[in-house]
Structure 1
Amino acid sequence: MSKIRITKQFNFETGHALYGYDGKCRNVHGHSYKLNVTVIGEPISDKNDVKFGMVIDFGDLKKIVKSEIVDKFDHATVFNKNTPHIELAQELMNRDHHVILVEYQPTSENMVIDFAEKIKKHLPGHIQLHSLKLQETESSFAEWYASDQDSH
């Protein structure tokens, strides 16, 4: 049977700030992110399965990514909780803003690693996460590929 890659794109708005960075992105700002999620697997060959011919139902993939990423990060502001930004985050939370505190510098590179871990936990056993592409601007993006990761 052939291995097939299936991709679904998601869009969400997220703010962040890069503590200690030497450019404009040290200031709180936002992006209209585009996330391409690509999984790989064999199409279901059981003719009696309602998902016959599909690697994964796009709707099922959507549920995973929406609950793990989009619903959490959309219209949120992300800060590295191990920096003085924790004080700004606390002030925003006190004013009922949606803030996410993470263990890492919230760059596209680190966010895509975090997203890969979150998505992989919820995929059915016969489906593997192939790649993620997180587009921050029209011309800038970070990519995660399973084949690039250490296998041990």
Structure 2
Amino acid sequence: MLQQIYPSVNHSFVYELNKDLQFAAAHYIPSDLAGKCSRIHGHTYFMNVCIVGDVLDDTGFLVNFSDLKALIHDRFDHKLINEDPLFNEEQGNIFPSTEVVARTAWTIIQDYLDSLPNQPKCLQIFLRETPTSYVIYRPRIGDRS
């Protein structure tokens, strides 16, 4: 796993959990404006998920690391991301660009966190697509997309 320090978000929560994930996936951007990226190509994505909260669950976890892995790695690893139903070939705002994949991962994770009794929050998704390119998605307070 890529060892690095990720940009942090100031918050007042008691606990901050960070989980690094890695998955290999292919994608393409269905637009001629994307240049070479309009052709199918693959990446080894590195993701850091930052979750915060004040209350631990009955096992002493803010959230179980294996649940985060199942939500993201199991969904996207060794897949063509474009085939996932959360992406669309008609609307640029939901093409599987790195920005949109980061936002989508946040949505998947936050939807899961909303179902937990201790109500943790996903503050940030850091998604590295290549050794020289990454995106950070930080929703505004109250954002759901």
Normalising by structure 1, we get a TM-score of 0.69
- Following superposition, the deviation at residue 6 of structure 1 comes to 1.2
Residue 62 (structure 1) aligned to one of 66, 91, 94: 66
* Pairing 1:97-116 to 2, within 5 Å after superposition: 99-101=83-85, 102-103=87-88, 104-116=94-106
The 2-side partners of 1:6 and 1:126 are apart by 13
Change in CA separation of 1:19 and 1:38 when aligned onto 2, cut-off 3 Å: same
- Following superposition, the deviation at residue 61 of structure 1 comes to 3.2
- Following superposition, the deviation at residue 23 of structure 1 comes to 1.8
Change in CA separation of 1:50 and 1:106 when aligned onto 2, cut-off 3 Å: closer
Q: Which residue of 1 aligns with 2:132?
A: 139
Change in CA separation of 1:138 and 1:126 when aligned onto 2, cut-off 3 Å: same
Bigger Rg over Cα: 1
- Segments of 5+ residues of structure 1 without an aligned counterpart are 80-98
RMSD (Å), alpha carbons: 2.5
Report how many residues are paired: 123
Letter in 2 for 1:137: T
